[in-house]
Amino acid sequence: MRDQPWKARNHLARVTLAPATPAHSAGAVVRNSTADVLDLMQDDDDDERYTPVTVTESQAATIPAEPSTAISGKVARSFRSFEDARAYVRTLGLKSKKKWEAWYKTDARPYDIPSTPARMYKSSGWTSYGDFLGFANGKVAGAFRSFADARAYVRTLSLKSKKKWEAWSSSGKRPHDIPANPNVTYASTGWTSYGDFLGYAVGKVAGAFHTFEDARAYVRTLGLKSQKEWEAWSSSGKRPHDIPANPKVTYASTGWTSYGDFLGYAEGQGARGSFRSFEGARTYVRTLGLKSKDAWEAWKRSGARLCDIPGRPDVVYASSGWLSLGDFLGYAGGKVTGAYKRNAAVAGLRALQNDADNDEKDEQDEDDEDEDARRRKQAKRPRGG
């Protein structure tokens, strides 16, 4: 009996019929059974499974000479139910449709798991690959979570800036039902800012800054000790969007006095140039334990000097208590420097000169008064007398 080839679903399967022999009793299959032949013809993705088979002649009657509708038509394979198939594939840990496609093309896919589950289970439970594979349970392909649900999820990621969000969003870790542009997707359903969405500035609106008091309270927790440190931090990417980069300008009319006050290292002090009183400054610098002019010069150049402590206290406090650097720093309390003596001498001379000027003015005033009195007396005398 000659071979009978036929095509089924674009695949060529050849069955070779062999005469029955004592070695092959009726119904015995040499390689594969007829059911196996039919099974191998059912899936487009099973090219590698189609192999020639040999069936005994006694089975020839069960195999038609020409394809019938039972074979040439689409023979429904007995696939698992949607629920069973989903339960199985969820154990694989596949996190995207791309990973699914790579997996189903391998020999690891059981024959009763379809390669196109979206089509196979279209009317029996299918929603999305995210739901089928388990990385976005219950979600429909193309549909995003509600704003509240999406926000609740992304806040668990501890992303502290829009830049970090964008890096994460493009990393491949973002579930398909979390939008890449939440500011657009949720524009009319709750969106205020990335700070609020990600959770690092809850309730804040994009472009709106904290009040001066709130901003100051926050930045004081950072331990920044100078304007230079503030500027480095501000440009580091760590600054929340609702803390202004130029607080001096933003809060100019709502409480700003100085970086020292804003950052907390000189609370209540005004802008640079508005210095503490002599007593206040001296009390502070004496806590530093500086024992010489060199130690003072090194300290004030280190960046640790507060904005309201002058770099030249001898000049600033010359007329308000200054005696000497030793007295100011506390290592020679009450000692007077030569400069102070010179200043005192000059001040004394000025005082003497002022006194002399005042005496001369007083004498002139007295002379003027005498002249006025004489003129009045003459004016009262009768004419011709």
Give 68-88 pLDDT, tens digit per residue: 333 333 445 689 999 999 999
In the prediction, which pLDDT does 43 show? 46
Residue 88 lies in a domain: yes
Is the confidence at residue 42, as pLDDT, over 90? no
Domain boundary among 45, 72, 99: 72
Distance CA 255, CA 262 (A): 9
Residue 351 lies in a domain: no
What is the extent of the structural domain holding 259?
Answer: 212-263
In the prediction, which pLDDT does 31 show? 44
* 11 and 66 inside one domain: yes
In the prediction, which pLDDT does 8 show? 42
| Runs of H (alpha helix) within the chain | 34-40, 69-72, 82-89, 97-104, 117-120, 129-133, 147-154, 162-169, 182-185, 194-198, 212-219, 227-234, 247-250, 259-263, 278-285, 293-301, 313-316, 325-329, 338-380
In the chain, how many domains are there? 5
Length of the chain: 385
Residue 22 lies in a domain: yes
In the prediction, which pLDDT does 14 show? 44
* 13 and 56 inside one domain: yes
* 13 and 60 inside one domain: yes
CA distances (Å), origin 370, targets 290, 357, 367, 380, 382: 63, 20, 5, 16, 21
In the prediction, which pLDDT does 135 show? 80
Name the percent of the chain lying above pLDDT 90: 24
Average pLDDT of the chain is 74
Q: Are the C-beta atoms of 333 and 327 separated by less than 8 Å?
A: yes
* 10 and 59 inside one domain: yes
* 96 and 122 inside one domain: yes
* 48 and 19 inside one domain: yes
- pLDDT confidence bin for 28, thresholds 50/70/90: very low
* 93 and 53 inside one domain: no
Give 133-181 pLDDT, tens digit per residue: 888 765 555 678 888 889 999 999 999 888 999 999 888 788 878 888 8
In the prediction, which pLDDT does 138 show? 57
Residue 348 lies in a domain: no
Is the confidence at residue 32, as pLDDT, over 60? no
Residue 190 lies in a domain: yes
pTM reported for the whole predicted model = 0.27
Domain boundary among 72, 90, 121: 72
Residue 335 lies in a domain: no
Residue 61 lies in a domain: yes
Residue 172 lies in a domain: yes
